[in-house]
A and B are shown apart, each in its own frame.
Chain A
Amino acid sequence: MTDPRRQRRIWYAVGGVLIVAFLAFGATSFKSNLTPYVSIEEAMRRPAKVQVKGSLVPHSTEYVEASQVLRFGLTDDRGNTMPVLYAGTKPGNFEEATEIVAVGSYREGAFHADQLLVKCPSKYQGLDEDPSRHSAET
């Protein structure tokens, strides 16, 4: 039998190395997975993976049968528009979204999104209109 104290110290060393290695792995993974958040103009210039916020060009959504992708136009507040291709399942609240964040990269004339964040008006606060227009004498 080895001395339990010594045995423990070895285990601690092994554990410590594993944890440090894991933290290093986590940190590099974190760094490499960071996707900066850019404007449409910049996304079209940069081939790297980025995310772009914008709103859906009304009635631009179409399903491209051959490649099984969803295609739509995304426009940002500076007035730039680009086509977006998305192969995943269309989120249920897609058309209703006040804002769409597309994560992916721009190549061959379109933005290939691998993730769409659809801002469901979880709250309708974004849509607030002037309530007095709906008013009536009570």
Chain B
Amino acid sequence: MYTPGTLLVWVAFVLGAVSTIAYALAIRGSAGARSIARQAYLLMTGAIVLVSGLLMYLLVTHDYRLHYVWAYSDNLLELKYLVSSFWGGQEGSFLLWIFWGVLLGLPLMRFARAYETRVMLFYNLTLLSLIMLLLKQDPFRFHEGLATGMAPLDGQGLNPLLQNPWMVIHPPIMFIGYASLAIPFAFALAALWMRRWDEWTKASMPWVLLSLGTLGLAIMLGGYWAYETLGWGGYWGWDPVENASLVPWLATAALTHGILLQRGRKRFRRTNLVLAVFAYLLVVYATFLTRSGVLGDFSVHSFVDLGITGWLVFNMVFFIAVSIGLLALRWREIPTEVGTEPFLSRTIFFVLGILMLVLTGLIVGLGTSAPLLSRLWGEPAQVGPDFYNGVGYWLAVAFALFLGATPFLGWSRADDGAGRRFSIVLAVTVVLLVAAHLVGLTGVKAHLYVGAVTFSLAANCWALLGKLRQGQWRAAGGVLAHVGVGLMMLAFLTTGWLGREQKVRLVQGEATEVLGYSMTFTGVEKPTPLARDAMVVEVTDPRGRNFVLKPRMWINQKTDQLVANPDIRSFLTSDLYVAPVEFTPGEEAPPSGRLMLAKDRPTAFKDWTLTFRRFDMARQNAVPGALTVGMVVELQRAGVAPVTIEPSLISMSDGTVQAVPVEIPGVPGGKLRATGMSVDQGLIRIELLGLGGGVARTAVLRKGESLRYEELRIRFDDFDLSEFDPDAGQINFGVVFSVERGGETVEVVPRFRSGMGGDAEVTPATVPGAGGVTLAIGRVDAEGGAIELQVIDPTIAAGEADPASLVIDISTKPLISLVWIGTLLVMAGVGMAIALRRRDVASIPVEG
């Protein structure tokens, strides 16, 4: 282990324990003990900050002696992803949680007022329970079995799917939410202990809202990441890890409303204590579910059991025992009052809203726990999205109706004039629903859902406008958040039910009509060898706008596996979502001919004249770690303006050479590729593809045998071994053909040279006066004395290139922008509520 790190974790644990014990002593009124407790807490905070800084430092400096650094980072990671590899694994994410936990404790200590000693006592316990996990599962441990002084040279790297900017910020925000949920929990326990039933809700409200905001934002960031990266086209998959964060969020939302009720009506004390306790217990339970490996077979996020299951169970049992015990002990003492509100009042609707949130939480919790529950009566089983969507539908409809009705109601009865407003809102809803029907909404269930959601949107928008008109914008946070929720609910339907999807194969260079879009796959883009291959798809949308989408498909070097990322084009009303499915590389057109070009000496090829002008070293560092040499070649053709193209050769550091072909402008499928160069002699060897011509005939000939090709009679005479010297490493010989044409016979000698390993090099020879017909040698069978003759004729038609093709999955996501807009509105509403409720805290007396 890395001693300073491990030691500091222990120090933090001991300081936390000291702080806890000192707070326990301070309950009896010892001011000295309280000051020790506070100082110990400050020191623990310092130790945790140091521990975090140390781990970050070790990650950034690539200290691969540490198992954690080795397992989650590597030398190629950018700095931001090195930072995010901090929370790439279990240990680091627990550390991040603790980090936020201790930091949040500082303002908590200051603002807990009369509740400080007890709140901090319980809060410390929640922190200790987490630090304990780090003692068991030390992030600073070294590799097992490594001799001292040994360290791996490179790490395993961070999962490429996590190398995404959203994944840099998603976990930190999520853990602020988790960490802050311990605060209302501690307040509720302190309130039970002290029998101070009302003030705790005011003191914890800003924290509850902080949890609500950060958890909600983090959940949606996670969804956005999934949408943008994973390529299955959605943002929510009802995966256990997603659910594990949703359920505490629902409990927090219920608690927020419960606290508002208690504030407004001085009732519902039991409800709120239970909600605050359960919101945190759910986090502990979710931690157990997702981190112990019990759901390993059922989750996309495979958190592996690291041997901390026992500790997680211990934590869960401990906190359940303490909190449920305290609740039971005090239950009968909690004052309750019976209300007299009629059904149509905000009070009752709040209660019902809370009930709905709790029910939703129960349903999701039940579904997530299915693998555990079903073990009670049989083999482990799981429920899929159908369960959540089917049950959630009815909850959502009812929920939207309540959400829409609340603005018309006062705490104890319906508002004056509510009837008139209600009729107007209802009319607006009907108009919108009819509009939706005309646009193409079908199905009774969809109409019911859209009707309920538009009702809630219309009602809350009206209420929002009303608040703004009356200048009560400070109090508009709740309504604003509800408008956001309505928008999100609308988008859940449109993206889930109304999207269209189709798979299609795009042949390179051919436009294909799909879902009203015209799409053309133009090729693979890979600016550098390290870049991820992008499939370039040119799109024309139904309104004639042009744009380019670049879904990616690339091989992860670490695992040698194919990874695909979608690309998305967002419009106001819909997203176009393109995920790559399969890429088939095509085959190039067959070579038309090979030429040797000397500097500034025009060389003819068919009706083209090619001139090699110069080597271009301007982009020699275009590819990191390799030398790129460009070759400027001029092409001329009668009747066409001359063009200059620049093929290049890349010499990689491992000794291999890569040729980068360039397309010949104006010739579909025509390409020019450099295959060799000699900088001293100013020579380059090139290959022309797809210009027509090529190998017209091949035949295996023995000495004395002949082949007829049109009016030529080609006879294999003998080998020319004048330069053949195997001892000097020269396997270099010519093949002498006598070619008879119209009674005239000439000798044509193509040459064959086989290097020390590597490909044989053939120098073809042209038959004089035969319209450019060239002879080359394919394979050579030295023992049998046979050769393969290739007759290259520039006049035969161009061989067909077999174009590459790309299969993509195209889908439209109508109104998906409302999910993100809705999220932002909810965040803004929660932020406004924090600003409003912050001042309540000051009304609570200070302890002592």
Residues of A within 8 A of B (CB): 4-5, 7-8, 11, 15, 19, 22, 25-26, 29-30, 33-38, 51, 53, 61-63, 65, 68, 70, 88-96, 98-99, 101, 103, 115, 117-128, 130-132, 134-138
Contact = CB atoms under 8 A, between A and B. Distances in A.
B325 interface: no
Interface in B13-51: none
A89 B382 CA distance: 22
Interface of B: 67, 70-72, 88-90, 143, 145-146, 149-154, 156-157, 159, 161-162, 229-233, 239, 297-304, 340, 342-343, 348, 352, 355, 359, 363, 366-367, 370-371, 374, 378-387, 390-391, 394-395, 501, 503, 505, 556, 559, 561-566, 579, 581-582, 807, 809, 811
B304 A125 contact: yes
Contacts of A89: 231-233, 501, 579, 581, 809, 811
Of the listed residues A53, A94, A122, A138, the one surrounded by the most CB atoms of chain B closer than 10 A to its CB is A122
Please report whether the interface of chain B is mostly helix, strand, loop or mixed according to DSSP. Answer: mixed
Given A36-B381, A51-B382, A89-B579, A124 B156 contact: yes
A107 B300 CA distance: 26
Contacts of A26: 363, 366, 391
B298 A117 contact: yes
Contacts of A131: 67, 70, 143, 146, 152
B150 A137 contact: yes
A132 B143 contact: yes
A33 B392 CA distance: 14
Of the listed residues B154, B156, B505, B566, the one surrounded by the most CB atoms of chain A closer than 10 A to its CB is B156
**A-B pairs with lowest CB-CB distance, top 8:** A92-B231, A33-B387, A95-B562, A96-B561, A11-B343, A34-B381, A134-B152, A36-B381
B153 A135 contact: yes
Given A37-B381, A93-B161, A122 B146 contact: no
B302 A4 contact: no
B503 to A, nearest CB: 5
A41 B381 CA distance: 17
Given A33-B386, A101-B297, A122-B300, 4 more contacts: A122-B162, A134-B153, A136-B153, A137-B150
B504 to A, nearest CB: 9
12 contacts: A7-B342, A29-B391, A30-B383, A34-B383, A61-B582, A89-B231, A89-B581, A92-B230, A103-B384, A123-B72, A131-B146, A135-B146
Contacts of B229: 92
Given A96-B559, A137-B150, A37 B581 contact: no
A19 B356 CA distance: 9
Nearest to A36: B381
B243 to A, nearest CB: 14
B387 A30 contact: yes
A138 B149 CA distance: 6
B564 A90 contact: yes
Nearest to B152: A134
A93 B382 CA distance: 22
Contact of B385 (A90, A115, A128, A134): A115
Contacts of A115: 384-385
A125 B88 CA distance: 11
A126 B302 contact: yes
A61 B563 CA distance: 13
Contacts of A117: 239, 298-300
B150 A37 contact: no
Given A34-B374, A92-B230, A124-B156, A29 B302 contact: no
Nearest to B339: A8
Contacts of A25: 391, 394
A30 B565 CA distance: 34
A90 B159 contact: no
Contact of B807 (A19, A63, A122, A124): A63
A124 B381 CA distance: 26
Contacts of B67: 131
A30 B366 contact: yes
Contacts of B145: 130, 132
A89 B391 CA distance: 25
Of the listed residues A34, A119, A125, A128, the one surrounded by the most CB atoms of chain B closer than 10 A to its CB is A34
A117 to B, nearest CB: 6
A102 B231 CA distance: 17
B382 A70 contact: no
Contacts of A61: 582
Contact of B563 (A33, A51, A92): A92
Nearest to A2: B342
Contacts of A29: 387, 390-391
A93 B348 CA distance: 48
Nearest to B366: A30
Contact of B302 (A36, A65, A119): A119
Contact of B150 (A5, A62, A101, A136): A136
Contacts of A138: 149-151
A127 B150 contact: no
A125 B298 contact: no
A7 B343 CA distance: 8
Contact of B359 (A22, A92, A93, A130): A22
A123 B303 CA distance: 7
B386 A118 contact: no
Contacts of A53: 297
B561 A95 contact: yes
Nearest to B306: A125
Contacts of B374: 34, 36
B394 A134 contact: no
Contacts of B503: 63, 68
Contacts of A36: 374, 378-381
B232 A88 contact: yes
Given A123-B159, A126-B302, A132 B384 contact: no
B466 to A, nearest CB: 27
Contacts of A124: 71-72, 156-157, 159
A27 to B, nearest CB: 9
A15 B352 CA distance: 9
A118 B391 contact: no
Given A30-B370, A89-B232, A95-B562, A127 B387 contact: no
Contacts of A122: 159, 162, 300-303
A101 B340 CA distance: 54
B246 to A, nearest CB: 16
Nearest to B340: A4
B300 A34 contact: no
Nearest to B342: A4
Contacts of B501: 89
B671 to A, nearest CB: 28
Contacts of A135: 146, 150-153
Nearest to B159: A121
A94 B229 CA distance: 12
B148 to A, nearest CB: 10
Given A36-B378, A132-B143, A134-B152, A90 B809 contact: yes
A10 B374 CA distance: 37
Contacts of A5: 340
A134 B229 CA distance: 30
Contacts of B381: 34-37
Of the listed residues A5, A26, A118, the one surrounded by the most CB atoms of chain B closer than 10 A to its CB is A26
A25 B537 CA distance: 47
Given A34-B383, A89-B231, A92-B231, A120 B161 contact: yes
B581 A70 contact: yes
